[in-house]
Amino acid sequence: MGSIPISVVIPVRNEEANLGQCLQRLGCFDEVIVVDSGSTDATCQIAANHGATVIQFEWNGRYPKKRNWVLLNQRLQNEWVLFLDADELVTEMFCNEVGAALAEDRFDAFWLKYTNFFLGQPLKHGDPQRKLALFKIGRGLYERIDEEAWSGLDMEVHEHPVIEGDVGEITAPIDHRDDRGVAKFIQRHKDYALWEAQRTRQLRSSGREVWAQLTDRQKNKYRNIDKWWFAWAYFAWTYVVKRGFLDGLPGFSYAFYKLWYFWTIRLLLKESENREVPASAS
């Protein structure tokens, strides 16, 4: 394997369309692990063909989900872990910057930037995607959420790592290239919306200790996500203020689907509230 002392962990389920091109970019890293959830396509064979270690994970609907399960139960070869999705492709610039950052040894974790692709085109404008997906093992875990199978999502998606230590940033972006099409994009965001609605209800009944672990952006989202203006404000922010309109049809479509996503969460929350009123009145 490569010289960068990082264990790359890729959680997957039926990712034969994306996994191969992801793995082809990872030759510079010391260890690559694919954590599979019972794929029924060629995902595991593709992983094995590229020399990755394949581990099976079966979620029981409770804590921990896939990423935390790896951190808590698997012995990784390196001090650092990088979590990638199968549709995320690292670049040579990213690898070079990461290698240099680890050599300086100034930080315990790094925010990563992503270039989203939609309808086959890179989105150069709009709201940039960031994730805290590279950190030292033992310095962080993803938020503990005892969700009791709110959905079929067996991997941390919107949960953020809680890091003990200093956090830096890698400026070279990762290409986020989801080649599964619009139908899969809509299905995935429907699942995300159901999860987010339940997460919002749980947070609003929790104490200050839980809220203290959230980022400022998370706090703003969960406090206002059911307001009538929130989805429209996000659309205006990403499409107008952040100039998503310069990306043409893909830019408009991506911003529109995000509006639909946040509006769907609002409706799910309102629907839940309406169901609870008669019960409390009786």
How many Cα atoms sit within 13 Å of 121 on the Cβ side?
A: 14
The beta-strand segments (E) located in 137-229 are: 140-142, 161-163, 167-176
**In angstroms, rounded to a whole number, what is the distance separating the alpha carbons of residues 39 and 42?**
8
State residue 132's pLDDT score.
Answer: 96
CATH 3.90.550.10 residue ranges for the chain: 4-179
Q: What is the pLDDT of residue 262?
A: 97
**pLDDT value for 178:** 79
CATH 3.90.550.10 is right for the domain spanning 4-179 = yes
pLDDT of residue 16: 94
What residues form DSSP beta bridges with 111?
132, 169
Residue 147: how many other CB atoms lie within 10 Å: 17
- Residue 281: per-residue pLDDT: 42
For the chain, residues with pLDDT lower than 70 are 1, 179, 277-282
Determine the pLDDT at residue 280. 43
Tell me the torsion sign for CA atoms 58, 64, 65, 67: negative
Query: How far apart, in whole angstroms, are the C-alpha atoms of residue 56 and residue 156?
Result: 16
Distances (CA, A) of 193 to 6, 40, 150, 152, 279: 33, 26, 11, 12, 25
Residue ranges of the alpha helices (H) in 50-134?
66-73, 92-104
Which are the contacts of 103, defined by CB distance < 8 A and separation ≥ 6?
none
Burial class (CB within 10 angstroms; exposed 0-12, middle 13-18, buried 19+) of 172: middle
